[in-house]
Amino acid sequence: MSERPPISPRSPRAALEPEKVPPPPRRSARARNPFVVIGNAIITIVLVLMIGAGLVYYYGRQTIEAPGPLQEDKIVNIPSRAGMADIADVLQREGVIDSNRWAFIGAVFAMKARSDLKPGEYNFQKSASLREVIATIVEGKVVQHSVTVPEGLTSEQILARLGENDIFAGGVREIPREGTLLPETYKFPRGTTREQVIQRMQQAQKRVVAEIWEHRSPDIPIRSPEQLVTLASIVEKETGKADERSRVAAVFTNRLRQKIKLQSDPTIIYGLVGGKGTLGRPIKRSEIAQPSPYNTYVIDGLPPGPISNPGRASLEAAANPARTRDLYFVADGTGGHAFTETYDQHQKNVAKLRSMEKQIQNDTVEPAADDSPPAPGTPADAPTTATTAKPPAAKKPARVPARQGAAQQGAAQSAAAPPPVVQQ
């Protein structure tokens, strides 16, 4: 048996005293190192920041991707020079974003788009999220407005129309030369200056004329693109029917070849009123022979320049007229024209038209005023014609042997009447 250690006797007082607890173990010198302490603190801070960033990212993503308050598509104009806060106010006022404008500002910073926000008129889709709203503004997807410029207007008339359109800004320094603007349907964003509109129309006209001139018929009596535009402007004013343009152009080219005066009523009007475009009353007989650089009853060949801005179809018709021998045309009473090669047949067409006009006047309930020019249906005063689908307008007589265009001189020769008129 092993021996037990001897038991030392203790006094009662000593027995009542608590035993001494051993001291805790001392930390190692490595644990007490300040670099370790700092490292632990940094790790703790980083973990806290990562958790916080994750929460912010999750919340921010939910906010940016959440559907917006718009109940339907809406067009909103962002003014120029608007800052980020101004844009937020506009979007909030228009209901594109909710009442928390700071969410928009935060989303702009998150997408790094602060310097890419562009002014303009934007179409925001229904329920567009903040991301979609900001992307639309950053990409500059502005609304494009369609603007149609009709064929046959003068440059002055086109400028008047542009001036009435409120999507354009600024003015125009000077009226463009006649025939340098291409009538077409264009698309422009709101705020486009009128000078920019004119420049675009001029560039389009140059491109189209160059293209058509390159593919013109080789035997037309036209020597330059400028003459082509001049002839096309007359064709444009003489007829509004697409299927007649090439035939009307053929009448004028045939007359040019044979050195016959063109005798086109629109050239009389342009010589009288210039860029205003419309006379506002019928042509007087005295004005038919009134000297003017544009009056093709007086001058030989083409006038010195266009009388309107022709469209592409009239330019193509002038460059490639129909292969006919027609020298005359007169309104057929249905909105179109009757074309003939000979003067005798032309007179028959005039007589037929006058018969129709007489019937129209007999069916008219309201007579024309005594002191006014002859009405379109007056059979004894003047023949009529129509350049569009409108009812025939009264026409004037001419003193030359044959009238091919909008006014019909052959019929006037057969009617000893006071000065007939034509409303082009």
Which tens digits make up the pLDDT trace of 106-121? 888 888 888 899 999 9
End-to-end CA distance of the chain: 146
State the Cα–Cα distance between residues 11 and 192, nearest whole angstrom: 111
State the Cα–Cα distance between residues 50 and 35, nearest whole angstrom: 22
Pair 279, 307: CB distance under 8 Å: no
Q: How many CB atoms lie within 10 A of CB 349?
A: 23
Tokens of 17: 């005293």
If you compute the radius of gyration of the chain from its CA atoms, what whole number of angstroms results? 43
% pLDDT > 70, the chain: 76
Most confident of 53-67, 85-99, 397-411: 85-99
Region of poorest pLDDT, from 41-50, 109-118, 253-262, 401-410: 401-410
Work out the burial of residue 213: count CB atoms within 10 Å of its CB; fewer than 13 is exposed, 13-18 middle, 19 or more buried.
Answer: middle
Check whether 254 has a pLDDT greater than 60. Answer: yes
> Checking phi first, is residue 152 left (phi over 0); if not, alpha (psi -120 to 50) or beta?
left
Q: How confident is the model at residue 394 (pLDDT cuts 50, 70, 90)?
A: very low
Residue owning tokens 């001049």: 230
Q: How confident is the model at residue 25 (pLDDT cuts 50, 70, 90)?
A: low
pLDDT at residue 8, rounded to an integer: 64
Average pLDDT over residues 38-47: 81
State the Cα–Cα distance between residues 271 and 305, nearest whole angstrom: 11
State the Cα–Cα distance between residues 63 and 352, nearest whole angstrom: 78
Q: Which residue has the higher pLDDT, 87 or 62?
A: 87
Query: Which part of the chain is CATH 3.30.1490.480?
Result: 74-139
Which tens digits make up the pLDDT trace of 307-329? 999 999 999 999 999 999 999 99
State the Cα–Cα distance between residues 349 and 384, nearest whole angstrom: 11
Q: How confident is the model at residue 15 (pLDDT cuts 50, 70, 90)?
A: low
Which tens digits make up the pLDDT trace of 338-361? 999 999 999 999 999 888 888 888
pLDDT at residue 168, rounded to an integer: 95
Pair 244, 337: CB distance under 8 Å: yes
Q: How confident is the model at residue 20 (pLDDT cuts 50, 70, 90)?
A: low
Region of poorest pLDDT, from 148-157, 307-316, 333-342: 333-342
DSSP letter string over 257-301? HTT-----HHHHHHHHHGGG---SSPPPHHHHT---TT-TTTSSS
pLDDT at residue 26, rounded to an integer: 66
State the Cα–Cα distance between residues 394 and 405, nearest whole angstrom: 13
Q: Is 416 helix (H, G, I), strand (E, B) or coil?
A: coil
Chain centroid to CA 363: 44
Q: Which residue has the higher pLDDT, 163 or 18?
A: 163
State the Cα–Cα distance between residues 131 and 136, nearest whole angstrom: 9
State the Cα–Cα distance between residues 248 and 306, nearest whole angstrom: 16
Check whether 411 has a pLDDT greater than 60. Answer: no
State the Cα–Cα distance between residues 102 and 109, nearest whole angstrom: 11
Check whether 375 has a pLDDT greater than 80. Answer: no
Q: Is 73 helix (H, G, I), strand (E, B) or coil?
A: coil
- Which residues are 169's β-sheet partners? 193
CA angle 228, 331, 238 (to 5 degrees): 20
Check whether 392 has a pLDDT greater than 60. Answer: no
Which tens digits make up the pLDDT trace of 181-236? 999 999 999 999 999 999 999 999 999 999 999 999 999 999 999 999 999 999 99
Q: Is 197 helix (H, G, I), strand (E, B) or coil?
A: helix
Residues 6+ apart with CB under 8 A from 324: 247, 250, 251, 254, 339, 341
pLDDT at residue 384, rounded to an integer: 34
Locate all alpha helices (DSSP H) within 184-244, ordered by sequence. Answer: 194-214, 225-238
Q: Is CATH 3.90.1150.10 correct for 74-139?
A: no
pLDDT at residue 359, rounded to an integer: 83
